[in-house]
Chains A and B, each alone.
Chain A
Amino acid sequence: MWSPGGDSLHGVSARDTDWEGVRLHVVTGKGGTGKTTVAGALAIALAYGGRRVLLIEVEGRQGIARLFDSPPLPYAERRVAVAPSTPTLPGGDVYALAADPEAALIEYLEMFYNLRHAGTALTKLGVVDFATTIAPGLRDVLLTGKAVEATRRRSGGRQKYDAVIMDAPPTGRIGKFLNVATEVSGLAKVGPIRGHADTVQSFIKSPQTAVHFVTVLEEMPVQETLDGIAELRGLAQGGLQLGGIMINMVRPEDLAEDQLRAAAAGTLDQHELDLGLKDAGIEDRRGLASSLAAELTDHAREALAQRAQRDRLAEAGQPRYELPLITSQMDLAGLYQLAAALREQGAA
């Protein structure tokens, strides 16, 4: 466990955030966009102010353990990080759980039918693997069901967790994953599984759940994000709430506007670079000034490409949050930096 020393959030007191009332945050995104990292940062951000949050992963790849530099997570809720206290706010706790469908089924059978032994036996026979393979809807309802159960769980007269963050499947699969009742209804028209799916579905479609999209400012991830948002809007007749767009790995723009345009067009004043290098006492060997100008051109073209993608995301009409590119290796310090950025922008 690790807690940061310095804190840019001194003086931040209880204030409204954009997602008041949301208790289950579903985080999706295309592969390679940093979905798990952003889910982790959101968990820390939500834990500030003495809150207890649970981060759940459902894809069995131990991404959360790697993110928090902890040993592999079991099917149990473990504390993995703290949100530090500030002069005005008490600290908070981040718990994590690696959910898997077999364990979730056994737990479900025990909770509702007192059938733990049968569940264990079924697992050994391969029945659970069978059922969840042949009908992924069953698998999904067990996983989303676990997240909903944790969100609604009470302990000592209060909610056990103030918020639950689910590191959900990628954008391409999120519609099916969340639309559990429909996915299961083709398979089970009546019966307890159907009932369970309906309960889970009604929570997911309630204002207490929001679905956030993680993307980077590149064409294809942005396209998938827009497609994913459109898909969920289509499913939203029952009120599936779209959350924010978390724009990850945003590179800063270091050039003034006129220089940026000139650099992108390749018309920068290279003589100015020559003079600057000379003034700095660097001898220009092997065309250093023109190489640096080429790097400025790359930078400017990236910056303009980023802007174009940012404009496309704006069309989705959802709140957007920007997370800076962490240039060093991603570690816990970087994670707290991202959490601070989310808080400053009102995401948590």
Chain B
Amino acid sequence: MRIEQHPPALDVDRLLDDPRTRIIVCCGSGGVGKTTTAAALGLRAAERGRHVVVLTVDPARRLAQSMGLSSLDNTPRPVPGSAAGAAGGSLHAMMLDMKRTFDEIVEAHADPDRATQILANPFYQSLSSSFAGTQEYMAMEKLGQLRRANEWDLIVVDTPPSRSALDFLDAPQRLGRFLDGRLIRLLTAPTKVGGRAYMRVFTAGFTMMTGVFTKVIGTQLLRDVQTFVIALDTMFGGFRERAEDTYRLLQAPGTSFLVIATPEPDALREASYFVERLSADQMPLAGLVVNRVHRSAAPQLSAARSLAAAEALQTVPAQATAPRHPLTVTALRLHAERMQLAEREHRLEESFTAAHPVIPMVEVPAQPEDVHDLDGLRAVGGELARGVGLS
């Protein structure tokens, strides 16, 4: 006898309809369908009467594709064809341009001369366009801006395509800590008033460090770093504080996290880590969405019986000239494969549930074709709202 645990079903419509829900964050490891899920949720909420903006952070323009838009820029644009009709909602979408967002912060906080100087610094350009944490940091920044603008009553955000789901939570603080850290102080110290006293403490380390820096990367590089750091430092004050602010926004009432996974070992392992992390950080978790689940329309016929029947049909009787019913044989074999796959996926989900029994879950069946238009997103939204837990 097998004792199965059934997780509670995730009620997506209740989440979307609750006016207190102001932010939904879709997170998970790469390639699990975060963007599609975010877009489908946004569309469904809009069609149920909410004013929604979907923010995607993915440079691959996937949201643009699935929403039938040719391009997205750093400003929310109405999604054509999503006119919400009777319910009176609306849907906008935007794709984060992280460099543009960073530039805007610089321009907003520095006088024109200083802003120009910072924007031209090679380190600024490198940091603002390619540091992995910048994307997460700017996503949070943009989320905060959208929230403060208060033009939408629901923001659905899709997290950056990091290798690990945890990067989304860690990166902003890492960047904040980094820009606020001891080493930055060390680099800026010599040029500050009172730097001498500060320097005395660090002299040995600093001399060696500049020595090695000069030898390995050259003095010009070191000078650029210093210029950059000083410019940023005087402009921003505490980066760490800023990162902590956005972090608190995520913990605030009205924010809900959805962890997205597929029924595969790596994706569910990531989901598991992430769920534990959210709970440790007191972030509000709404539930787990398992995408691309394979189900069978005929669970009454087991894989073993299906295979046995296929073999029986293929055993050619002495008087016959050809195998019987080739189409049925193919159907039975495909059915057996599907049942085996469904069983394997089911086992993986059960392992997750055993470790996290109270987390609401919803499955979205694998679509035979890719989702690339609003009808496809609508269908996914319908599956999300069906609220079926493990069957």
Contacts and interface: CB of A to CB of B under 8 A. Distances in A.
B322 interface: no
Contact of A254 (B182, B305, B330, B344): B330
A130 B183 contact: yes
Contact of B327 (A115, A186, A272): A272
A126 B182 contact: yes
A276 B329 contact: yes
B164 A118 contact: no
A30 interface: yes
B338 A109 contact: no
Interface string A262-300: 000000110011011101111001101001111111110
A100 interface: no
A329 B221 contact: no
B301 interface: yes
Interface string A323-345: 00001010000000000000000
Given A31-B163, A305-B370, A189 B220 contact: yes
B312 interface: yes
B325 A295 contact: no
A176 interface: yes
A296 B334 contact: yes
A88 interface: no
A136 B30 contact: no
A276 B216 contact: no
A33 interface: yes
A282 B332 CA distance: 11
Nearest to A140: B130
A236 B127 CA distance: 25
Interface string A73-104: 00000000000000000000000000000000
A197 to B, nearest CB: 11
Interface string B122-155: 1101110011110000000000000000000000
A187 interface: yes
Contacts of B125: 186
A249 to B, nearest CB: 11
Chain A CB count within 10 A is highest, among B59, B216, B310, B372, for B216
Interface stretch (B67-75, B193-201, B292-300, B381-389): B292-300
Interface string B282-318: 0000000000000011101100010001101100000
Contacts of B331: 273, 276, 292-293, 295-296
Nearest to B33: A32
B159 to A, nearest CB: 13
Contacts of A133: 131, 133, 174-175, 178
Given A188-B221, A194-B218, A295 B298 contact: yes
Nearest to A296: B331
A220 B371 CA distance: 10
A280 B331 CA distance: 12
A224 B60 contact: yes
Contacts of A280: 309-310, 312-313, 325, 328, 332
Interface string A290-330: 01111111110110010000000000000000000001010
B342 to A, nearest CB: 11
A61 interface: yes
Interface stretch (B13-21, B205-213, B236-244, B350-358): B205-213
Given A122-B212, A130-B183, A220-B370, A31 B29 contact: yes
Interface string A29-49: 011110000000000000000
Interface in B1-56: 29-32
B209 A127 contact: yes
Contact of A279 (B184, B313, B335, B344): B313
A137 B300 contact: no
B60 A172 contact: yes
A18 to B, nearest CB: 27
A183 interface: yes
Contact of A277 (B181, B225, B297, B328): B328
Contact of A31 (B31, B208, B218, B310): B31
Interface string A215-235: 000111101100100000000
Interface in B72-106: none
Chain B CB count within 10 A is highest, among A32, A129, A186, A302, for A32
Contacts of A156: none
B212 A109 contact: yes
B189 interface: no
Contacts of A294: 297
A291 B163 contact: no
Contact of B30 (A170, A192, A286): A170
Nearest to B218: A191
A220 B213 CA distance: 43
A255 to B, nearest CB: 6
A61 B300 contact: no
Nearest to B131: A136
B71 to A, nearest CB: 13
B378 interface: no
Nearest to A186: B122
Contacts of B170: none
Contacts of A241: none
Contacts of B327: 255, 259, 268-269, 272-273, 276, 296
A174 B87 CA distance: 45
A162 interface: no
B113 interface: no
Given A31-B29, A32-B32, A193 B337 contact: no
A276 B324 contact: yes
12 contacts: A31-B31, A59-B163, A122-B212, A135-B126, A136-B126, A172-B161, A188-B220, A189-B218, A191-B220, A219-B65, A259-B327, A296-B330
The 9 closest A-B pairs by CB, nearest first: A32-B31, A276-B328, A31-B30, A191-B218, A276-B325, A291-B298, A291-B297, A219-B370, A280-B309
Given A32-B31, A299-B334, 13 more contacts: A109-B216, A113-B215, A133-B175, A136-B132, A186-B125, A188-B217, A259-B327, A275-B328, A276-B325, A286-B300, A292-B328, A293-B331, A327-B337
Interface of B: 29-32, 59-60, 62, 65, 122-123, 125-127, 130-133, 161, 163-164, 174-175, 178, 181-184, 205, 208-209, 211-213, 215-218, 220-221, 224-225, 228, 262, 265, 267, 296-298, 300-301, 305, 309-310, 312-313, 324-325, 327-335, 337-338, 340-341, 344, 368-370, 372
